[in-house]
Amino acid sequence: MSEGILLVLSAPSGCGKTTIVRQVMAELPGLAFSVSHTTRQPRPGEGNGRDYHFVNQEQFKALRDQEPSGFLEWAEVHGNLYGTSRQEVEKRLATGTDVILDIDVQGAEQVRHNAQPVTVFIAPPSLAELEQRLRGRGTESPESLRIRLANAEKEMQAAPTYTYLIINDQLEQAVLALKSIIIAERCRQRRL
């Protein structure tokens, strides 16, 4: 049995990454979503252990400092800490399952140093469209919205460092693009 593929997906907040991933996972077998740890508060409808492992600062730091390294990557984003369990990812990859990491550009850079992931950046059609999507969620304060948009501009500068770029202007096309990338990478891995 071959080892699974490590897929790193990054996108500015509000690009539709979660929606795309959920649809792809419903349509392609052999995928697992790596549930990150975070210190941020749950949004309405999010479940502990399903969307994130919600922990406090002290719990996060204890996990981060475990030896061998407790996190494959970790970062501070929008004032909150996020991290990916190295043990969880390695265990799933060893079974031949492809693992999707939904992480920011800081985390993606760390993973590139610790592994050989396939990286995918999902971008909005424009910053104006991104702002409209974020406002439509109704979960952001004016200050949070301002921070997310400023961060989005910075994050989009990292897009050229990713293996693939998907512009999410039509959801169906973005889902098809991600499925195609995964299928192509599975074929490439078999060849190797």
pLDDT at 159: 96
Indicate whether 157 pLDDT > 60. yes
Indicate whether 146 pLDDT > 90. no
- What average pLDDT does range 92-105 have in this prediction? 94
141 lies in a domain?
Answer: yes
Torsion on CA atoms 33, 37, 38, 42, rounded to nearest 10 = 60
3-state SS, residue 102:
strand
Q: Which domain CATH number covers 70?
A: 3.40.50.300
* DSSP E strands, 11-155: 31-33, 37-38, 53-54, 71-77, 80-85, 98-102, 118-123
- What average pLDDT does range 68-75 have in this prediction? 85
pLDDT at 143: 85
92 lies in a domain?
Answer: yes
pLDDT at 54: 97
SS3 letters across 119-188: EEEEECCCHHHHHHHHHHHCCCCHHHHHHHHHHHHHHHCCHHHCCEEEECCCHHHHHHHHHHHHHHHHHH
pLDDT at 8: 97
Residue 19's domain spans which residues? 6-191
1 lies in a domain?
Answer: no
96 lies in a domain?
Answer: yes
Q: Looking at the 3D structure of the chain, how many domains does it have?
A: 1
pLDDT at 59: 94
Q: For 20-63, what is each residue's pLDDT tens digit?
A: 999 999 999 999 999 999 999 998 899 999 989 999 999 999 99
User: Backbone phi, then psi, for 48, in 5-degree steps?
Assistant: -65, 130
75 lies in a domain?
Answer: yes
113 lies in a domain?
Answer: yes
137 lies in a domain?
Answer: yes
Among residues of the chain, what percentage have pLDDT more than 70?
97
pLDDT at 132: 83
Inter-CA distances, 19 with 48, 60, 168, Å:
18, 27, 11
Higher pLDDT: 12 or 128? It is 12
pLDDT at 61: 92
11 lies in a domain?
Answer: yes
pLDDT at 122: 97
Kindly state the DSSP code that residue 93 receives in the 8-state scheme. H
pLDDT at 144: 80
Indicate whether 78 pLDDT > 80. no
